Amino acid sequence: MAETPSTCPYCGVGCGVIIQSEGSQITGVRGDPLHPANHGRLCTKGSTLHLTAAPALAQQTRLLQPLLRAGRGQAPQPTDWDTALDLAATRMANTVQQHGPDAVAIYASGQLLTEDYYVFNKLAKGLLGTNNLDTNSRLCMSSAVAGYKATLGADAPPACYDDLQHARCLFIVGSNAAWAHPILFRRIEDAKAANPQLRIIVADPRRTETAEIADLFLPLQPGTDVQLFHGMLHAMLWEGWLDTDYIARHTSGFDSLKALVREATPERVARDCGLDMQDVLQAARWFALGGEDGSTAQRAPTLSLYCQGLNQSSSGTAKNAALINLHLATGQIGKPGAGPLSLTGQPNAMGGREVGGMANLLSGHRDLANAQHRAEVAAFWGVPSVPASPGKTAIELFEAAADGQIKALWIACTNPAHSLPDQATVRRALERADWVVLQDAFATTATAAYADLLLPATTWGEKLGTVTNSERRISRVRAAVPAPGQARHDWQIATQIAQRIEARLRPGQPSLFTYDTGNAAAGAERIWNEHRDSTRGRDLDITGLSWPLLESAGPQQWPLPAGAQAGTARLYADGIFPTADGRARFAAQPYRPVAEPRNAGFPLSLNTGRLRDQWHGMSRTGQLGRLFAHQSEPVLNMHPQDMERSRLQPGQLVAVRSRHGQIVLPVQADAGLGLSQVYLPMHWGSEYLSGRNAQGQAVGGVNALTTPAFCPQSKQPELKHAAVSVQAV
């Protein structure tokens, strides 16, 4: 039996795994005791990875050869790789030549490896000449990115997992870490066991399993987070709990924020958020003083952990910024146990941002809107320019395809016909586009039904490269078994199509994509080295890192510039921030309620989220019966009093209607929800949940209900709130 160290492909905790294999079969998995993210532990999903790679399951679900449809609605037929690659390149190049570069778009995934992301980004912005490259990371972390940049000056989480051991107060907000980041939650439990004095505050509209560990639970009304944070700051100001010295020496813009929160009195905030005023004051005290009840002289460290409850919101950037404001105002940053730490949803959403793999970003944390940054990237790639016009972000991209502006769609490693909100528009986009290419490991996704061309890609256990987890830690991903069937690595497919596009769009010029597609290890390392060189002098500088160093020293946290001996555990210890004047900026962003308020027609707030043992659209976890033991079918959770008022019985079928569509499923009682709130797991799509859109057409799945409204700064959609009604059918 061979053992290959790699990384779990599910969540942003980024646990190390040891893959056990015999020949071409993955036979087992165990936690990597040497990996600093998990020290050998795995959750239910991670510990069953090998079972989801079983050949019998793979035969039923994997895409193992290129397939081509003669026409929409027809069964796809096998084709060979050369034909498939030629066709993909020809259709993309023709669309660029006939309709301009912005008529094509690439929609990729936070589950791609950094090397895959790098090639896609260069292909779109350096070769095709469009910034229409976005990913499902837009649904995951873009509000965290915008929040960090608005306040701290860079997309860089300042804290790390080890800070859990040093913190004396944990502020967990908009995160059910017990289910979504289970191994991190084990570390929270360890910290509490080691230090019973650790104060844990959990703020969430639902009383989740995470809330069970809380010393103080704040069941705030959906979407009122900014008002809560402003109220906490108001109280800190009034009570003298701020770190005025830190504010004076290391920040700017406090006066504007002070004026903004003047009206956020504890009474008003308690009313708006549906909380007890004393609880708001207690949260403010513990946050400011690090769990202490005394004075600022005893101030101890406070660490915030937060996730989609803040990010998936029409005011996601304001929520992130308002929370970071609290850290800056109390000096709770840049020291052990203190700081804001966003929990990444997907395994490599951060690696994708590092290489600029989104519509508004460029390589090495450069900004598309910055002319100097565009010039730097163009010079680095050896192209005349990088297009200046902003690319379409996820929601905009599919709306543009539905409107006929985007004519060719290239989708990689994701399932937008399940995961994007407002599925009616997404389905229209996929139907209207002239050309849809899907490269994926799985043939059974909802999106596969719309693809003209399907290209088989490798997945966990077969791929190699790197990923970056929530604490900026870069880990190696290694292949334990060869690619099955005719599957190829995502970067190989992108490179081979890019080389063919070059022959049409820039004939006779040296290739921009000289990565060795015949040698996966050498090719991937070469791409990573190119990415590494693009970070020189940037906040995430990793010019001191190499694959041999990752091999010998293990996973490393960026930055790790040339000459450094090891990675950097936490940022901003010196109080100097990557802004023009070196000061962090307070962001005075007002509280705005949810985009779709409840009314008489839609009197309930719908929240969507993750179950403990499932992952996204279940293309992998849905293959394994034991992962349904925790919850076997989609059900609508509803407060028992709301059920009683509507005369609903547990298990009864109900129609859930929003302004966008309707689905039918059973209802169950959940006293952990607030009144007038309902909850749906995000995992079941149209294959399981039939439904209709507002025009009566057949569109199912959870996201038949959700709103396309997004944060104006981060463009992240409000998957955490839609106004709905529930009636018996």
Task: Choose the stretch contacting ligand SF4; rule: CB under 6 A; options: 13-21, 65-73, 84-92, 411-419.
Answer: 13-21
**Token code pair at residue 700:** 């199912």
The one among 182, 339, 559, 674 contacting ligand SF4 by CB under 6 A: 182
The answer to whether the CB of 144 falls within 8 A of the CB of 310 is yes
Asked if 555 is part of the footprint of ligand SF4 (rule: CB under 6 A), the reply reads no
Residue count at the site for ligand SF4 (CB under 6 A)? Answer: 14
Asked if 10 is part of the footprint of ligand SF4 (rule: CB under 6 A), the reply reads yes
The one among 21, 29, 32, 45 contacting ligand SF4 by CB under 6 A: 45
Asked if 46 is part of the footprint of ligand SF4 (rule: CB under 6 A), the reply reads yes
Task: Choose the stretch contacting ligand SF4; rule: CB under 6 A; options: 6-14, 156-164, 604-612, 693-701.
Answer: 6-14
Nearest CB to ligand SF4, comparing residues 45 and 299: 45
Nearest CB to ligand SF4, comparing residues 11 and 202: 11
Task: Of 12, 9, 22, 13, give the one whose Cα is nearest residue 48.
Answer: 9
The least CB distance from residue 137 to ligand SF4, in Å, is: 16
Nearest CB to ligand SF4, comparing residues 311 and 346: 346
Q: Which residues contact 719 (CB under 8 A, 6 or more apart)?
A: 139, 308, 312, 421, 608, 682, 703, 706
Q: Which residues contact 115 (CB under 8 A, 6 or more apart)?
A: 465, 466, 491, 524, 527, 528, 531
The one among 38, 135, 175, 445 contacting ligand SF4 by CB under 6 A: 38
Q: How far apart are CA 201 and CA 211, in angstroms?
A: 8
**Segment 233 to 292, residues that bind ligand SF4, using CB under 6 A:** none
> SS3 breakdown of the chain: % helix, strand, coil, rounded to 5?
35, 20, 45
The least CB distance from residue 21 to ligand SF4, in Å, is: 18
The least CB distance from residue 7 to ligand SF4, in Å, is: 8
Q: How far apart are CA 243 and CA 71, in angstroms?
A: 65
The least CB distance from residue 471 to ligand SF4, in Å, is: 12
The least CB distance from residue 55 to ligand SF4, in Å, is: 22
Asked if 13 is part of the footprint of ligand SF4 (rule: CB under 6 A), the reply reads yes
Asked if 42 is part of the footprint of ligand SF4 (rule: CB under 6 A), the reply reads yes
The least CB distance from residue 627 to ligand SF4, in Å, is: 11
The least CB distance from residue 180 to ligand SF4, in Å, is: 8
Nearest CB to ligand SF4, comparing residues 13 and 665: 13
The least CB distance from residue 459 to ligand SF4, in Å, is: 14
The least CB distance from residue 412 to ligand SF4, in Å, is: 21
The answer to whether the CB of 333 falls within 8 A of the CB of 572 is yes
Tell me how far the alpha carbon of residue 522 is from its chain's centroid: 29
The least CB distance from residue 33 to ligand SF4, in Å, is: 14
Task: Choose the stretch contacting ligand SF4; rule: CB under 6 A; options: 38-46, 139-147, 159-167, 532-540.
Answer: 38-46
- The structure tokens 């039918």 sit at 664
The backbone torsions φ and ψ at residue 104, rounded to the nearest 5 degrees and listed phi first, read -115, 155
The least CB distance from residue 44 to ligand SF4, in Å, is: 8
Half-sphere exposure of 23 (CA within 13 A, CB side): 2
Nearest CB to ligand SF4, comparing residues 36 and 182: 182
Residue 147, classified by CB atoms within 10 Å of its CB into exposed (0-12), middle (13-18) or buried (19+), is buried
Asked if 484 is part of the footprint of ligand SF4 (rule: CB under 6 A), the reply reads no
The least CB distance from residue 461 to ligand SF4, in Å, is: 13
- 178 torsion bin: left (phi>0), alpha (psi -120 to 50), beta (else): alpha
Whether the CA torsion 221, 222, 224, 228 is positive or negative: it is positive
Nearest CB to ligand SF4, comparing residues 10 and 286: 10
**What three-state secondary structure class fits 439?**
strand
Asked if 11 is part of the footprint of ligand SF4 (rule: CB under 6 A), the reply reads yes
Task: Choose the stretch contacting ligand SF4; rule: CB under 6 A; options: 4-12, 187-195, 231-239, 321-329.
Answer: 4-12
Nearest CB to ligand SF4, comparing residues 40 and 575: 40
Nearest CB to ligand SF4, comparing residues 3 and 255: 3
Nearest CB to ligand SF4, comparing residues 363 and 470: 470
The one among 125, 138, 166, 181 contacting ligand SF4 by CB under 6 A: 181
The least CB distance from residue 683 to ligand SF4, in Å, is: 14
Residue 208, classified by CB atoms within 10 Å of its CB into exposed (0-12), middle (13-18) or buried (19+), is buried
Nearest CB to ligand SF4, comparing residues 30 and 504: 30
Asked if 166 is part of the footprint of ligand SF4 (rule: CB under 6 A), the reply reads no
Report how far apart the first and last C-alpha atoms of the chain are (Å, whole number). Answer: 55
Beta bridge partners of 465: 477
**Segment 353 to 382, residues that bind ligand SF4, using CB under 6 A:** none
The least CB distance from residue 45 to ligand SF4, in Å, is: 4
Q: Would you tell me how many other CB atoms lie within 10 Å of the CB of residue 323?
A: 26
Q: How far apart are CA 375 and CA 500, in angstroms?
A: 26
Q: How far apart are CA 200 and CA 203, in angstroms?
A: 10
Q: How far apart are CA 420 and CA 716, in angstroms?
A: 11
Nearest CB to ligand SF4, comparing residues 6 and 419: 6
Q: How far apart are CA 692 and CA 610, in angstroms?
A: 23
The length of the chain is 729
Asked if 8 is part of the footprint of ligand SF4 (rule: CB under 6 A), the reply reads yes
Alpha helices in 195-264 (DSSP H): 225-239, 244-250, 254-260
Task: Choose the stretch contacting ligand SF4; rule: CB under 6 A; options: 35-43, 261-269, 271-279, 551-559.
Answer: 35-43
Nearest CB to ligand SF4, comparing residues 150 and 172: 172
* DSSP one-letter string for 513-558: ----TT-HHHHHHHHHHHHHHHTTTSTT--TT--HHHHHHH--EES
The one among 26, 84, 183, 326 contacting ligand SF4 by CB under 6 A: 183
Q: How far apart are CA 397 and CA 407, in angstroms?
A: 11
**Token code pair at residue 480:** 């334990």
Q: Which residue is nearest to ligand SF4 (CB)?
A: 46
Q: How far apart are CA 247 and CA 253, in angstroms?
A: 9
The answer to whether the CB of 480 falls within 8 A of the CB of 10 is no
The answer to whether the CB of 164 falls within 8 A of the CB of 192 is no
The least CB distance from residue 530 to ligand SF4, in Å, is: 27
Nearest CB to ligand SF4, comparing residues 285 and 616: 616
**Segment 81 to 100, residues that bind ligand SF4, using CB under 6 A:** none
The least CB distance from residue 353 to ligand SF4, in Å, is: 18
Asked if 470 is part of the footprint of ligand SF4 (rule: CB under 6 A), the reply reads no
Q: How far apart are CA 507 and CA 485, in angstroms?
A: 33
* DSSP one-letter string for 604-654: EEEEEE--SS--TT-TTGGG-GGGGSS--S--EEE-HHHHHHTT--TT-EE
Nearest CB to ligand SF4, comparing residues 135 and 348: 348
Nearest CB to ligand SF4, comparing residues 35 and 149: 35
Task: Choose the stretch contacting ligand SF4; rule: CB under 6 A; options: 42-50, 280-288, 296-304, 315-323.
Answer: 42-50
The least CB distance from residue 49 to ligand SF4, in Å, is: 8
The one among 5, 15, 92, 173 contacting ligand SF4 by CB under 6 A: 15
Q: Which residues contact 689 (CB under 8 A, 6 or more apart)?
A: 634, 663, 664, 665, 700, 701, 702, 704
Asked if 656 is part of the footprint of ligand SF4 (rule: CB under 6 A), the reply reads no
**Token code pair at residue 661:** 């569509």
Q: How far apart are CA 364 and CA 356, in angstroms?
A: 6
Note the residues at the interface with ligand SF4 (CB under 6 A). Answer: 8, 10-11, 13-15, 38, 42-43, 45-46, 181-183
